[in-house]
Chains A and B, each alone.
Chain A
Amino acid sequence: MKKTYKVEVDCANCAAKMEDAIKKIDGIGDATLNFMTQKLIVEFEDGVEINAVMQAAYKACKKVESDCVIYM
C-alpha cells in the first residue's frame, strides 16, 4: 500500500530528518520525502491502520521541525 501526501516543509535538511523519523515509525515500510516537489510518499506495511500510523508520523515530524505540515 503506497500513498502520496502533500507536505509543507521549509528546509532541505529538515526534510531529510523528517524522512528518517517517518521511516522509524511502526507500520511504515519505507518513506521518501521529496523536498523539491513537497511530496511525501509512504509505503505502508500490510494490514496497518493508515490513519493511526500517519498521526504517529506527523507527530514525529513535528518533533523535528515544529512548523511542518502534512496534508492528510
Chain B
Amino acid sequence: MTRKQKKMLIRIIVSAVLMIGLNFIPIDGIARFILYLVPYLIVGYDILIKAAKGIANRQVFDENFLMSIATIGAMIIGLVDSGDYVEAIAVMLFYQTGELFQSYAVGKSRKNISALMDIRPDYANIELDGKLIQTDPDDIEIGTVIVVNPGEKVPIDGVVIEGNSSLDTAALTGESLPRDVKIGDEIISGCVNMTGVLKIRTTKEFGESTVSKVLDLVENASSRKSRSENFITKFAKIYTPAVCFSALALSVIPPLVNILILSNPAGWGTWVYRALSFLVASCPCALVVSIPLSFFAGIGGASKEGILIKGSNYLEALSQTDCVVFDKTGTLTCGVFEVTAIHHNQMPNEKILEYAALAESASSHPISKSLQRAYGKELDTNRVSDIQEISGNGVTALVDGTQVAVGNDKLMSKLGIKCADCHKTGTVIHIAIGGEYAGHIVISDIVKPTAQKAISLLKKSGVKNTVMLTGDRTAVANQVAQTLGINTVYSELLPADKVARVEQLLAEKSSKSKLAFVGDGINDAPVLSRADIGIAMGGIGSDAAIEAADVVLMDDDPVKIAKAIKISRKCISIVYQNIVFAIGVKVLALILVALGMANMWLAVFADVGVAVIAVLNAIRAMFVKRL
C-alpha cells in the first residue's frame, strides 16, 4: 500500500469506530448533528474539498461532486427530518472503502503487468584494471567490451568474444528452451545469461538495442486507443451531465406534480433522497477504469508470450481477423535450404550424402553448403582430388579414387548417364558414382515444423481464409500450400504484386472483418503496413520488422498467430462483459432507485462495488498462458 492508501485506511477505521460508538450516546437536536459531523468529516473531508475545488475550476459533475451532494443532502435530511445521520456517514465510508480497494487493486495489477514486461537491465559491467565496474548502460559506447555474469541480463546487443553459455530468452520470445551461444555469436539484449561468464563486444548503443526498442514499444502500446476505449470516453462525456439533469428532474418534478396536480403533500424529502441515491449510482468509473486496464493486461500477457502488440486498437482488430495472408519464405518456411529427400539409391543415405558433400566440398554455392550441412560431419578434403566445376551443371571429382559426378540432369546427360525423374518438388541433385547412377538428393526450403499446426489452429479459431503469397515457383508453392492446408496460393509474385494482391483481398472481404498479413518484415514492409494488421516474423533483433509491423512475433513461430488471436478475443470479450455488466447494473440500480425500491446503500454498490468487480474481471485478461 502507498502512504496515501494507508492514511485512507486509518481514516476509514477511525470514522467507522466513531460512528458505531455514537449509536450508544443518546442525544438529540443540534448536538447530535455536530457529534455525527465528526466521523463524517474524518472520512469525507477530501471529497468535499475536491468537490469545492472542482466547482471553483468549473469541473463539476465528477464523482466527488456527486458524492458530496448526495451525502450533504442526506445529512440535511437527517437534520431537518429523521435525525438519522448514519446513512450519510455509512455511504461515505462505503464509497471510500470501495475507492481504496479499487485503487489498491488497480495499482497492484499495474505493477504485476509492468513486471511481466520488465526486462530493462539496470547496469552493464565493464572490466577496468581487472575489476568489474557497474555502469549505466546508457553510457556504454559501441565497441566496448562488457562482461555478463551468470544470472545477469544482457544489457546491450553485441557479439560474444569470450566464453560459452546458455541464454534464457523467455522474457523476449516466450520460448522456454535455452539458447546456446559461443564465441562469434550475435547476442541480443534482454536475454538472461544462465551458465557461463560471457564477454561481449557491443554492436549497438543502449537506446538502439533490442531491449530498449521492445520496452518502448510495449510501454507506449496502450496509448493507441481502441474503439471501445474511445467509445467510453465519449460515453462518459454525455452520460454524466445527462444523469445529473435526470436527478434534478427526479427531485423537482414528482413533488411539483404532487402539489399542483394531485394535491398531495409534496414529499420533498423522499424525492430529494431518491435523486441523491440516483446520483451516487450513476458514477461511470467502473467502465472508465476497467476497460483500459483490460487492454493493458491483455497486451502485458501477450508480451510475456513473446507476442508484442503495438496498441489496443490492434488488439481489437486482431480479434476480428478472419483472413490471414502469409508470405512463404521465412514465415511458413525456414528460409534455409535443406535436404528433404534421397531417392533411387542403392547405398545408404549417409553414404550418398558423404560422396556428394565431398565432391562439393570446394564449392560455396548455397546448394553445396546445404549438402555439407546435411552430411554434418567434418569433411576430409584429402580424400577428394581433381575437382572440376561445370558451371550451371554441377561438379565432378575423384573421391577415394572413384569418379563422382554431382549435378543436375544436364550434367548427367552430358556424361551419358541415365537418371531418374523425381516426383518431389524442389531442386533435384543427381549423383553418379564410378559412371553408374547412384540416386538423387532433393533439396528444398523446409517448412517450419509448427507451420501445419499453426494453420490448423487458425482454422479452428475461426479464421475462414488462409492465403499464401510467394515469389517462388508455382509447383513449389502449391506443394507447400497443400501440405499445410492453405486455401489459396498466389505464386511467382514480385514484391509489388504482393501489395496488389493484398489490396484485392482487402476489397473482397466484408467491412467488419479484418485481414492480417504475416511476413518476415524484410522485403514486405509495404504489405505489412497496407494490411489491417501487419504481423512480423521479425524474430529476435530484426529492426525492420519491429518498425513496420503492428504485431511482432519475437520467436518466429507461426503458432503464435493463433495464440495472439485467442488472446485478443479473450481480452475483447472481457471488455464487452464489463461494458454490459457495468451499464446493466447501473441502469437497473437507477430504475430501482428512481422508483424508491432501493436505498443509497445499493446505489453505492452500483458505483464502487461494480467498479471493483469490473477491475478484478479485467485482470483476467493477463492470464493467457493456457489459451
List chain A positions with a Cβ less than 8 A from chain B: 10-13, 16-17, 32, 34-39, 41, 63-64, 66
> Does B285 lie within 8 Å of A39, measured CB to CB?
no
Which residues of the partner chain B approach A35 to less than 8 Å between Cβ atoms? 292
Which residues of the partner chain A approach B301 to less than 8 Å between Cβ atoms? none
9-residue interface stretch from B216-224, B341-349, B414-422: B216-224
- A60's closest neighbor in chain B, by CB? B57
> Does B103 lie within 8 Å of A36, measured CB to CB?
no
> Does B288 lie within 8 Å of A34, measured CB to CB?
no
Q: How far is the CA of A66 from the CA of B64 in the complex (A)?
A: 12
Q: How far is the CA of A17 from the CA of B58 in the complex (A)?
A: 13
Tell me whether A36 and B57 are in contact in the complex, defined as CB-CB below 8 angstroms, given that A10-B103, A11-B285, A41-B223 are known contacts. no
List chain B positions with a Cβ less than 8 A from chain A: 4, 49-50, 53, 57, 59, 62-63, 103, 106, 110, 113-114, 219-220, 222-223, 233, 236, 284-285, 288-289, 292-293, 296
- B110's closest neighbor in chain A, by CB? A36
> Does B292 lie within 8 Å of A17, measured CB to CB?
no
Which residues of the partner chain B approach A66 to less than 8 Å between Cβ atoms? 49-50, 53
Q: How far is the CA of A41 from the CA of B113 in the complex (A)?
A: 20
- A12's closest neighbor in chain B, by CB? B289
7 nearest A-B pairs in the assembled complex, by CB-CB distance: A36-B296, A32-B223, A63-B57, A13-B288, A12-B289, A12-B288, A37-B219
Q: How far is the CA of A37 from the CA of B289 in the complex (A)?
A: 14
> Does B50 lie within 8 Å of A37, measured CB to CB?
no
> Does A37 lie within 8 Å of B222, measured CB to CB?
yes
Given contact pairs A12-B293, A35-B292, a sample of 12 additional A-B residue pairs in the complex whose CB atoms are under 8 Å apart: A11-B103, A11-B285, A12-B288, A13-B63, A16-B233, A16-B236, A36-B113, A36-B292, A37-B219, A37-B222, A63-B59, A64-B59
> Does B57 lie within 8 Å of A34, measured CB to CB?
no
Question: Looking at the complex, which one of A10, A13, A17, A37 makes contact with B114 (CB distance below 8 Å)?
Answer: A37
Which residues of the partner chain A approach B289 to less than 8 Å between Cβ atoms? 11-13
25 A-B residue pairs with CB within 8 Å: A11-B63, A11-B103, A11-B288, A12-B288, A12-B289, A12-B292, A12-B293, A13-B62, A13-B63, A13-B236, A13-B285, A13-B288, A16-B233, A16-B236, A32-B220, A32-B223, A34-B220, A34-B223, A36-B293, A37-B110, A38-B110, A39-B219, A64-B59, A66-B50, A66-B53
Q: How far is the CA of A41 from the CA of B219 in the complex (A)?
A: 11
Which residues of the partner chain A approach B236 to less than 8 Å between Cβ atoms? 13, 16
Q: How far is the CA of A63 from the CA of B219 in the complex (A)?
A: 27
Q: How far is the CA of A11 from the CA of B283 in the complex (A)?
A: 13
Q: Which of B4, B106, B223 has the most CB of A within 10 A?
A: B223
Q: How far is the CA of A49 from the CA of B103 in the complex (A)?
A: 35
CB distance from A6 to the nearest CB of B (A): 12
Which residues of the partner chain A approach B53 to less than 8 Å between Cβ atoms? 63, 66
Tell me whether A36 and B222 are in contact in the complex, defined as CB-CB below 8 angstroms, given that A11-B285, A12-B292, A13-B236 are known contacts. yes
Which residues of the partner chain A approach B292 to less than 8 Å between Cβ atoms? 12, 35-36
Q: How far is the CA of A26 from the CA of B65 in the complex (A)?
A: 29
CB distance from A72 to the nearest CB of B (A): 19
Q: How far is the CA of A12 from the CA of B59 in the complex (A)?
A: 16
Q: Which of A12, A36, A41, A66 has the most CB of B within 10 A?
A: A36
Q: How far is the CA of A25 from the CA of B103 in the complex (A)?
A: 29
CB distance from A15 to the nearest CB of B (A): 9
Q: How far is the CA of A10 from the CA of B8 in the complex (A)?
A: 13
Q: How far is the CA of A13 from the CA of B235 in the complex (A)?
A: 12
Q: How far is the CA of A58 from the CA of B296 in the complex (A)?
A: 25
Q: How far is the CA of A39 from the CA of B285 in the complex (A)?
A: 20
Q: How far is the CA of A17 from the CA of B343 in the complex (A)?
A: 71
Which residues of the partner chain B approach A34 to less than 8 Å between Cβ atoms? 219-220, 222-223
Which residues of the partner chain A approach B106 to less than 8 Å between Cβ atoms? 12
> Does B288 lie within 8 Å of A16, measured CB to CB?
yes
Q: How far is the CA of A35 from the CA of B103 in the complex (A)?
A: 12
Which residues of the partner chain B approach A37 to less than 8 Å between Cβ atoms? 110, 114, 219, 222
CB distance from B505 to the nearest CB of A (A): 33
Which residues of the partner chain A approach B222 to less than 8 Å between Cβ atoms? 34, 36-37
CB distance from A39 to the nearest CB of B (A): 7
CB distance from A3 to the nearest CB of B (A): 13
CB distance from B452 to the nearest CB of A (A): 38
CB distance from A59 to the nearest CB of B (A): 10
Q: How far is the CA of A30 from the CA of B412 in the complex (A)?
A: 69
Q: How far is the CA of A34 from the CA of B219 in the complex (A)?
A: 9
Which residues of the partner chain A approach B296 to less than 8 Å between Cβ atoms? 36
CB distance from B68 to the nearest CB of A (A): 14
Q: How far is the CA of A39 from the CA of B223 in the complex (A)?
A: 10
Q: How far is the CA of A64 from the CA of B285 in the complex (A)?
A: 16
CB distance from A22 to the nearest CB of B (A): 13
Which residues of the partner chain B approach A39 to less than 8 Å between Cβ atoms? 219
Tell me whether A13 and B219 are in contact in the complex, defined as CB-CB below 8 angstroms, given that A35-B292, A36-B293, A36-B296 are known contacts. no
- B232's closest neighbor in chain A, by CB? A16
Which residues of the partner chain A approach B62 to less than 8 Å between Cβ atoms? 13
Which residues of the partner chain B approach A32 to less than 8 Å between Cβ atoms? 220, 223
Which residues of the partner chain B approach A13 to less than 8 Å between Cβ atoms? 62-63, 236, 284-285, 288-289
Which residues of the partner chain B approach A11 to less than 8 Å between Cβ atoms? 63, 103, 285, 288-289
Q: How far is the CA of A38 from the CA of B110 in the complex (A)?
A: 9
CB distance from A51 to the nearest CB of B (A): 23
Q: How far is the CA of A46 from the CA of B284 in the complex (A)?
A: 38
Q: How far is the CA of A11 from the CA of B98 in the complex (A)?
A: 13
- A39's closest neighbor in chain B, by CB? B219
Tell me whether A64 and B288 are in contact in the complex, defined as CB-CB below 8 angstroms, given that A16-B233, A32-B223, A37-B219 are known contacts. no
- B229's closest neighbor in chain A, by CB? A16
CB distance from A67 to the nearest CB of B (A): 8
